[in-house]
């Protein structure tokens, strides 16, 4: 009989549950403002309360992202950052930290590694999960097999507009956690969270025991706390990426991102 090995994502959520805590998942774009800074920021995020890191792979057509993250992708691409550079960042982080890292990407950059070699490339770098925003379960068969056979979690999105049938399909295809989008549309800061987010989490939990993380538009400690009332983790992207954009060139960039992170999780 074989024993299932827990990866870092599952271990992290189990630890949070034991401590009656909720997770905080910041998103940053690799290579913005530089690859060196990305590595430093990841360590600072963990030090200030991040439980899982979403590391964005820069892409020329980020259709799910709003202007803040689009600009981050443009800056990283101007730095000629590739998916292989992203994996190298993770590999270097693994010399210093065991923080779970989810590669947040679109499908094309991942396929550029070659699908047969993708699982091994992710595993050897130390990646724990993949979220390909334009990949749907119906078309994920071979991709799912390659990634999961390497022990990498594959995370899918559900939205307030998802039917129960769709939520069931996504939940069954996902591992690690399910990413619940708080609203329809693209990423970006918003003044208040949609009431649909809480309802969506409740619907997802009818079909899976996996943790549910809520993102898109979460940008203040109050909104993080609101997400924590019904979900297992809150994802913050645009607010953190905007801080990186505004502080680019500032010697205190890394410390400012750390301070923002500490503020965002201050309600727990």
Query: Which helix or strand (DSSP H or E) is residue 130 part of?
Result: strand 129-132
Distance CA 135, CA 150 (A): 18
Predicted local confidence at residue 62, as pLDDT: 82
Confidence label for 197 from pLDDT (cuts 50, 70 and 90)? confident
**pLDDT band for position 34 (50/70/90)?**
very high
Q: Measuring CA to CA, which residue among 195, 184, 188, 185 is closest to residue 226?
A: 195
Domains of the chain, by residue range, sit at: 18-262
| pLDDT average, residue stretch 101-115 | 96
Q: Can you name the residues that pair with 55 across neighbouring β-strands?
A: 28, 103
Is residue 246 within 8 A of residue 267, CB to CB? The reply is no
Average pLDDT, the chain: 93
Distance CA 22, CA 127 (A): 22
Residue 19 confidence (pLDDT): 97
Strand partners, 213: 179, 233
Helix-strand-coil percent breakdown of the chain, rounded to 5? 45, 15, 40
183 torsion bin: left (phi>0), alpha (psi -120 to 50), beta (else): beta
Q: How confident is the model at residue 263 (pLDDT cuts 50, 70, 90)?
A: very high
Copy the structure tokens of residue 250.
């500032």
Architecture of domain 18-262: Alpha-Beta Barrel (3.20)
Q: What pLDDT is stored for residue 1 in this prediction?
A: 35
Note the pLDDT of residue 5.
56
Q: What is the pLDDT of residues 112-129, one digit of tens each?
A: 999 999 999 999 999 999
Catalytic pick among 10, 44, 65, 226: 65
CB 129 within 8 A of CB 162: no
Does 13 have pLDDT greater than 90? yes
130-160: per-residue pLDDT in tens?
A: 999 999 999 999 999 999 999 999 999 999 9
The reported pLDDT for the residue numbered 38 is 98
Is 15 marked active-site? no
pLDDT at 267: 87
Mean pLDDT of 233-257: 97
Query: What is the rounded radius of gyration, in angstroms, for the C-alpha atoms of the chain?
Result: 17
Q: Which pLDDT belongs to residue 184?
A: 55
Task: Return the residue matching tokens 């899918």.
Answer: 156
Closest CA to 228 of 71, 28, 22, 1: 22
Q: How far apart are CA 70 and CA 76, in angstroms?
A: 10
Which of 10, 46, 51, 54 is the catalytic position? 54
Alpha helices by DSSP H, listed for the chain, are 8-18, 35-47, 67-78, 83-93, 107-111, 115-125, 141-149, 164-173, 196-204, 221-228, 238-246, 253-264
Percent of the chain with pLDDT over 70: 93
Asked if the model's pLDDT at residue 188 lies above 50, the reply is no
54 is catalytic: yes
């Amino acid at each position: 009989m074989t024993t299932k090995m827990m990866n870092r994502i599952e271990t992290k959520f189990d630890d949070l549950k034991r401590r009656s805590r909720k997770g905080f998942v910041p998103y940053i774009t690799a290579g913005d403002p530089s690859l060196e800074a990305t590595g430093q920021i990841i360590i600072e995020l963990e030090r200030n309360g991040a439980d899982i890191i979403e590391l964005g792979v820069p892409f020329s057509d980020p259709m799910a992202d709003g202007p803040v993250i689009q600009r981050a992708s443009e800056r990283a691409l101007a730095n000629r950052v590739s998916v292989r550079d992203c994996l190298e960042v993770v590999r270097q982080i693994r010399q210093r930290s065991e923080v779970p890292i989810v590669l947040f990407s679109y499908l094309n950059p991942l396929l550029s590694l070659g699908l047969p070699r993708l699982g091994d490339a992710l595993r050897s770098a130390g990646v724990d999960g993949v979220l390909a925003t334009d990949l749907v379960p119906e078309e994920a068969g071979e991709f799912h097999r390659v990634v999961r056979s390497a022990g990498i979690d594959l995370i899918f999105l559900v939205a307030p507009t998802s039917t129960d049938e769709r939520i069931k399909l996504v939940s069954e295809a996902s591992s690690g956690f399910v990413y619940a989008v708080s609203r329809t549309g693209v990423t970006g800061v918003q003044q208040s969270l949609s009431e649909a987010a809480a309802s969506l989490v409740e619907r997802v939990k009818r079909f899976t025991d996996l943790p549910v993380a809520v993102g898109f538009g979460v940008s203040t400690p109050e909104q993080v706390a609101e997400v924590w009332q019904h979900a297992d983790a809150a994802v913050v992207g645009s607010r953190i990426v905007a801080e990186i954009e505004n502080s680019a060139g500032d010697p205190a960039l890394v410390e400012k991102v750390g301070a923002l992170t500490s503020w965002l999780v201050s309600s727990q």
